[in-house]
Structure 1
């Protein structure tokens, strides 16, 4: 019995320990069960996240070539008629060239998520005719825009700002390239092409941060007076290969940061004192004037004197006279005031015009004489009739004068009347 009693307490302690161990194991399992079930509950959401935001390298339009490493998308010569909708959000440089984007509507680049990294956009050579208000909205990082080689018939007043006409949003653009955008003559509207471009550039304060503007090869005949008034930050202005005859009406006074002004290959004949004084007031500007048909007459005296003193004009030694003929190819810096006179001799073009006019008048005179010769008999008869009429009239006048001159005939005439 004693032996059995001693085994009883020991066996009870063993069972108690086993029970406690079982409770501890059960509590640990119950505590760890939620954490083990978390992956299983989260796993259904994983495919949803993947479908909402695929890897960047997988989002590339079918008609384009994408490089995530270079942050570049190229959609070149693909005959696209609209901007691709599935552009990757990482794009920084976008080339949409050689396509058929005839119209660029408002919000053409609005995407979700937005193309916040897009900094350089090239839309050249797309047969683009209509750029509407707000076309470049939702591109907060756009710094460079190239619309060259597009026959723009309509460039909206708010093309480079927001679509809200009452409060246009400022544009982040620093470089705007509009080379060779003049449409064919049969596609132009009644308004001036120069005025349309100027209106888009001076719209509100949208382009006050613009630093580079290229308007080459657009056949501009003149520059509107207020073309540059809203571009105070401009540093580079390219107007080469146009048809500018004069710069009298445009002001450069507010372009205090201007560094380069390209006016090569235009139709400039002389620069007046007002323009020269404005350029002289710009501290850092460099002017390029090659290949203009300078007329070296008395109106060129002030410009020649200014050229000899200034350092603003690059390669000024290459500037030569085009008219008059006797001054052709003479360097402007080699001229003296005695060489510059207003010779009354007409230029060859006007001489040719007057010779042609003389030939026409001579031909008309010959035709007139021929008509007179062919009608000589009728003219002779008409002259004889006039002569006879004049003779009868003169004879009657002479007869009346003789009667009135004789006093006796006068009294007789009076008595007969009585």
Structure 2
């Protein structure tokens, strides 16, 4: 009976594991669970399980699938492996339980379910007999200790949660280790120029600290007491996750000798400082997460040597500023997450060593992020391939030109914070921008040329700001617009040319105090009362109903709750007031002028050109009418004289004069020759 209860508890724990926001893949039918009754211990469940259902595999797929599809993740297939999940309760039973495990295990999950006061210790040497083990997960309650006394050479994936890591005294460490700084040559531009105003990384000593003199034996004993964990000898390790394990100090020898390590997670360990060359022993790292720690200063030597790093997560730390001393060369970095850091300033040349970065996230509610240009340099210089930029808590009285200089490949820009106004050419040079989200920014004023040059814009979100009017000509250059969101502002009217965009599908205008009049006759419910839904797959099928060619199409659905309402008619619907109370008649359909192309010109110049064309058209009409009248008079005179005899004589006389003048000209020409 006790065995059945334990097995049921293990199955429930496996099914109730916390699910993070990870991508879900198309799963193949799972193999039936096989219980190894003969060799599986009583406190364990042995079964064949899909490898990508393990927490460590789900975390890796989440870290590597931000931009790619499911087929590009590290563990996309449902490879089934032999898994044992065991409950650890008493320290005296741990060794006997581990020794009774099947020798052909491929994955082992150890769950410490005892109270925090119940101390439990696991040695890596007790797992070495599992000669096929490639995945190890140990999850404790804070009272579990993993003592690394021997390396696990065959292990590929390790996940440690809420346990303590210690190295044994008999653990063999690398001999004659060489500090990586001896071979590192990169220096920031300020260091090369000898700029002493830039703070250097140097050891800090207390002025009144007493120097403790100890013998060599005491020094060795002090090192033994520290018991710094070391993964030296774990040569095949590819994934290492140390989550909430109180690993608050890093040293470069800790991860030394891990050439196969690709993914490293050190979240929630209370790390305050990243020591120089802390990860240089794993030169092939692709993803590194130091999120939810206490890092207050980022120095470029801390991440030195990670030339293959693609994903860097430093979210929820204590960083306050970024400069050229923050990052070393990261030539393959694609995604950098710096959210929830109280960053106030981004100094020039900060991102000069991140030329291939595709996605960058910054900003926190704890501090205002100030955006401005530095002379001829922008704050995001050299990010020429950046496609997605998200900035939170941006605080500036005016978003000016030059702040986003150099972001010519940017496709998505999201701003949150407090922005007073957006000036002209604020997004100049961003020709690839498709989505611009400036909602919840408190914007009160927009320049008529704020979006000049942004010709590929498809989505414009200005919702929940303080806009009181939309300037004329704001969207004249945006012929690809599909969605415009202006809900939650203080708008009363719109320019009559606002609905001239040829590809508009959604225009959110609700939650505004509209002053309804007949100028709104060109408003369309099929645009204002619509919400954009998820994409729907549409396929062309053959005669048997099998899909041949499929594509995803964005869906749109009507929502009557989104209808704009009139503040001057007791909150009634705009279309009800136009139809029943104002009696404006048929809607006025406006078409864009085809007389000339004025795209890309300021609005004031467009008005002058329009007035000039109107004057030319009026002059042409007056001139054409006068010409028609003179032709009519001449025609009447010819008709009246056509039948007279003197008219015939005059015609012949005129013809003879023309022939005579032609002959004289020919004679003169021959004489000259």
TM-score (norm 1): 0.54
How far residue 47 of structure 1 moved from its aligned partner, in angstroms, is: 10
Aligned to 2:344: 102
Aligned to 2:275: none
Aligned to 1:369: none
SS in 2 for 1:270: coil
Selected match of 1:290 from 510, 521, 537: 510
Distance 1:332 1:150 in 2: 35
How far residue 123 of structure 1 moved from its aligned partner, in angstroms, is: 0.8
User: Which residues of 2 match residues 202-351 of structure 1 at below 5 A?
Assistant: 202=428, 206-276=429-499, 278-279=500-501, 282-296=502-516, 300-303=517-520, 305-307=521-523, 311=527, 314=530, 315=558, 317-318=560-561, 319-324=563-568, 327-336=569-578, 339-340=581-582
Does residue 174 of structure 1 match 2:174? no
Deviations 1:350-391 (A, max 9, x none): xxxxxxxxxxxxxxxxxxxxxxxxxxxxxxxxxxxxxxxxxx
Residues 308 and 333, structure 2, Cα contact 8 Å, conserved in 1: no
Distance 2:582 2:340 in 1: 51
Higher helix content, 1 or 2 = 1
How far residue 124 of structure 1 moved from its aligned partner, in angstroms, is: 2.1
Higher strand content, 1 or 2 = 2
Aligned length: 264
Residues 92 and 119, structure 1, Cα contact 8 Å, conserved in 2: yes
Greater relative contact order (CA < 8 Å, ≥ 6 in sequence): 1
Distance 2:444 2:399 in 1: 19
**Aligned pair in 2 of structure 1 residues 311, 82: CA closer, same or farther (>3 Å)?**
closer
How far residue 224 of structure 1 moved from its aligned partner, in angstroms, is: 0.9
**Aligned pair in 2 of structure 1 residues 116, 74: CA closer, same or farther (>3 Å)?**
same
How far residue 160 of structure 1 moved from its aligned partner, in angstroms, is: 1.6
Aligned to 1:368: none
Distance 1:226 1:217 in 2: 21
How far residue 82 of structure 1 moved from its aligned partner, in angstroms, is: 2.9
**Aligned pair in 2 of structure 1 residues 107, 69: CA closer, same or farther (>3 Å)?**
closer
Aligned to 2:427: 201
How far residue 86 of structure 1 moved from its aligned partner, in angstroms, is: 3.7
Deviations 1:320-377 (A, max 9, x none): 53433xx323222223456139xxxxxxxxxxxxxxxxxxxxxxxxxxxxxxxxxxxx
Distance 2:443 2:371 in 1: 20
Aligned to 1:161: 405
Distance 1:237 1:336 in 2: 27
Does residue 128 of structure 1 match 2:351? no
Distance 1:59 1:263 in 2: 39
Pick the structure with greater CA Rg: 1
Aligned to 1:3: none
How far residue 273 of structure 1 moved from its aligned partner, in angstroms, is: 2.0
Aligned to 1:404: none
How far residue 147 of structure 1 moved from its aligned partner, in angstroms, is: 1.5
How far residue 234 of structure 1 moved from its aligned partner, in angstroms, is: 0.8
How far residue 231 of structure 1 moved from its aligned partner, in angstroms, is: 0.5
User: Which residues of 2 match residues 23-42 of structure 1 at below 5 A?
Assistant: none
SS in 1 for 2:436: strand
SS in 1 for 2:484: strand
5+ long unaligned stretches in structure 2: 1-177, 186-279, 531-557, 584-673
How far residue 159 of structure 1 moved from its aligned partner, in angstroms, is: 2.2
Distance 2:399 2:514 in 1: 34
How far residue 88 of structure 1 moved from its aligned partner, in angstroms, is: 4.4
How far residue 60 of structure 1 moved from its aligned partner, in angstroms, is: 6.1
CA-atom RMSD, angstroms? Answer: 3.7
SS in 1 for 2:396: coil
Distance 2:578 2:400 in 1: 49
Aligned to 1:23: none
5+ long unaligned stretches in structure 1: 1-45, 163-169, 183-192, 342-418
